Structure 1
Amino acid sequence: MYFLGAVYLTSYYHYFRLDAFSLGFGFAELSIQSLNVLKVPVVIVLTVAVLAARHLTTRESAPAQGSLARMLERWGRAVVRAHLAFILAGLALLLLWSRIQPYGWTAPLLLGTGVFLGQTPWASGGTTASTLWSKAVPVFTGGLLMMWAFSLATSQLGEQEAQQAAGQLVRRTAVAILSTDRLSLAGPGLKAEDLGAKAHYRYRYTGLRRIIERNGRYYLLPLGWDPRTGPTYVIQDGNDVRVELLPGTQ
C-alpha cells in the first residue's frame, strides 16, 4: 500500500510540477492514498483473480452436480495450459513498448500472469516441483513483474486524475492572496487589485485555485493554467501575506 500510494502521488503531483516527497507525506498518508487505485473494475478483477488462484493452486475438481462449475474448470484448465501464450504476448508487447503507451503495464501483466499460471498443478499435469529454480525463482520473478505492472498502471491513473483535476480547476477551492507588498504573480485568469495605501494588506490577488496546502505553504494554480507552460505558485503564509480560502465555482 505504501509503494502504490507513493507511485500514485508522485505521478499525480508531477503533472503539476511538484515533487510528492518534498511535500512531506508520511507513511500513513502514502498508504491511504493507495486506496485511490481501488476502482470498481479493479475490485472485480482482484476478487475473481483471488478466487481463481485459490482453485488453481489446488487439485480439487468441480462438484459433479455443477455443470457451470465443470464448464468453468475446463475453461480454466485451457487458460492455464496456454500460459506460454501469455508470456509470448507479453514479450511481443515489450518489443512494441513505445507503441502501446500509456498502456505499457499490459506487457509485464501478461508476463507475470503467464509465469504464475505456469506454476499451477494444472500446467504441470498435476505434479509440482519444489526446487529453488523450478519454484521459488519463477514465483519471485512473477511477483516482480506484477509489481512493475501495478506501478505502471497506478502511475497512469495518477496522471489521468491530475489531468481531470486540471480540467475542472474552477471547481477547486478558490484562494485569495492578500499582501503588504506587491507580488510577482501574473497569468491568465489571475486578477491583481490595489486596495489603497491605508489598507494593511494593500494588494489582493484572486483567480487562483489550491492544489494542496502543507505546513503553511499553499500550492496554487491560476485559472487559465496550461500544463505545458503555466506556472505553479508556492505561497508561504506569514505576517506579510494572508491567505483566504473561498468556495470554487460549482
Structure 2
Amino acid sequence: MNEGPTGLGRLGWIIGAIAAPTSLVTGLLYYFGYYHAYWFFAYFGVNSTVLNFSTADYLRRSLDALWVPMTLTAAVGLLAFWAHELLRGRLAAEAGREVLRHAIPVVAGLGLLLTLGGLWSTLTETFLNRVLVLAPLSLSLGVTLLAYALHLRRTLAAATPPPDATSAANADPPDGEADDRDSSASDPDPLTSGSPADSDTSNTSSPSVTRPEWVALAEWAVIFVLVALGLVWAANDYAASVGETRARRLASQLANYPSTVLYSERSLSISAPGVSETRCHDPKAAYGYRYDGLTLVLQSGNQYVMLPYRWTPTNGVALVVPRSDSVRLEFGPPPSADPQGPAC
C-alpha cells in the first residue's frame, strides 16, 4: 500500500515530537523494574516501597525482567522481515498470487480470533489468562496479523491486472484491428512495469487510489497502540513472574548464603525461627546484643533486608533494619547444621 510507509513514518515523527525516545525507554524500564522488585520482595512479605529504591536500582532490575522478552521479540521480528522479503519475491509469479488469494482469508481469520481473545481477556478471566503472557501476546499478534493481511490484500490487488484488461487482451480483435492488438501485446505487464497508469483507477482496491494521509496515520496509530499495549502487558506479567521466580530460588538456596551476625546496642526483640539472641555481659561492649541465624539479602535506602536461614513461606519473617551506628554487621561462611555463634 502506497500510504503505509508515509503514514508509519509520520506517526513515528509525531511520537518523537511528543516524547523523546530516551525518556520513553527510561520510563518503560523503570516501570518493569518496579514490578520486578515489587513481586520479588512481596514473596517475602516486604513492601518494596519502604526500601527507597533509586531509579538506577529499578533500571538494573528491569534488565533481568526484559532480557528474554527483548531477545525473543528481536528474533521473531527479524524472521518476520526475512519471510516478508521472500514473500515479495514470490508475488511476481502467478502461482504465488494464487496462493496468496487463499492464504489472506486464513491469516485474517486467525488474526481476528486472536484479537478477540486478547480483547476479551482484558475484560474478564478467560483460559488465556491462565497461561503466562498468552492473553497479551494474543492481542498483539492478532492485530499484527490483521494489519498484515490487509497489507497483503492491497499488494495483491496492485500486482493483479484488472479483469477487464485481461479479457480484452485475450479476445479476438475485429477485422482491421490486428495491428492494435499487436501493439497492445507489446505493452509492459502491470506487475513488472509498476506504473500507476497501467492500473484501473476506478478500482477502489487499486493502490492508485490514494487515501488521505490522516486516514493512513489514524490506521497506523491504532495498530501501534494495540500492539504496544499488548507487548507492555506481556512484559509486565513476565517481569512480575521473574521477580517471584527469583525470590523462590533465593529462598531455596538460603543455606548457601554467607551468614550475617547482627550486633545491636539495644534488644531488637527478634522472634523468628532459627534466630538466636545472645546478650553480651561485657559492660564495656559497644553492642549489647547479638543475633545469629540471619543472612543479608539487600542493602538499599539505608536499610538492611535480612532473612532467617529457616525462612519458609508459611512461618517466615523478613527483617528490615535501619542502617545506623546503633547496629553492626559481621559476615562469615554459611552456618553448619547447628548454627551456634560464639559468645560476645
Q: CA RMSD in A?
A: 3.4
Match of 1:140 in 2: 225
Contact 1:103 1:153 in 2 (8 A): no
Determine the structure 2 residue equivalent to 1:171.
Answer: 256
State the 1:89 CA deviation: 4.1
Give 2:88's aligned residue: 61
Q: Measure, in 1, the Cα distance between the counterparts of 2:151 and 2:276.
A: 66
Q: Would you tell me which structure has more helix in proportion to its own residues? A: 2
Which structure would you say has the larger RCO, counting Cα contacts within 8 Å and 6 or more residues apart?
Answer: 2
Q: 1:126 and 1:199, CA in 2 relative to 1: closer, same or farther beyond 3 A? A: farther
**What residue is the counterpart of 2:289 in the other structure?**
203
Deviation at 1:155, TM superposition (A): 0.6
- Once the two structures are TM-superposed, the CA of residue 126 in structure 1 deviates from its matched residue by 3.2
**How far apart, CA to CA, are the structure 2 residues paired with 1:89 and 1:100?**
8
Q: How does 1:28-177 map to 2 (within 5 A)?
A: 28-38=56-66, 42=69, 45-55=72-82, 61-62=88-89, 80-81=107-108, 82-90=110-118, 97=125, 103-120=131-148, 124-127=152-155, 131=215, 132-177=217-262
Task: Give the 3-state SS of the residue equivalent to 1:29 in structure 2.
Answer: helix
Count of matched residue pairs:
240
Structure 2: state its 5+ residue gaps: 1-28, 156-206, 337-344
After superposition, the C-alpha distances for 1:151-206 in whole angstroms (9 at most, x for unaligned) are 01111111111111112122233211112332201211112223323351232111
SS in 2 for 1:192: strand
Deviation, structure 1 residue 228: 3.6
**1:196-217 superposed Cα distances (whole Å, 9 cap, x missing partner):** 2335123211101112112432
TM-score of the aligned structures, taking structure 2 as reference length: 0.59
Q: Which has the larger radius of gyration?
A: 2
CA distance in 2, matches of 1:226, 1:244: 24
> Match for residue 266 of structure 2?
181
Deviations 1:83-102 (A, max 9, x none): 12322443565687376666
Paired residues of 2:263 and 2:291 also in contact (CA < 8 A): yes
Structure 1: gaps spanning 5 or more residues = 65-69
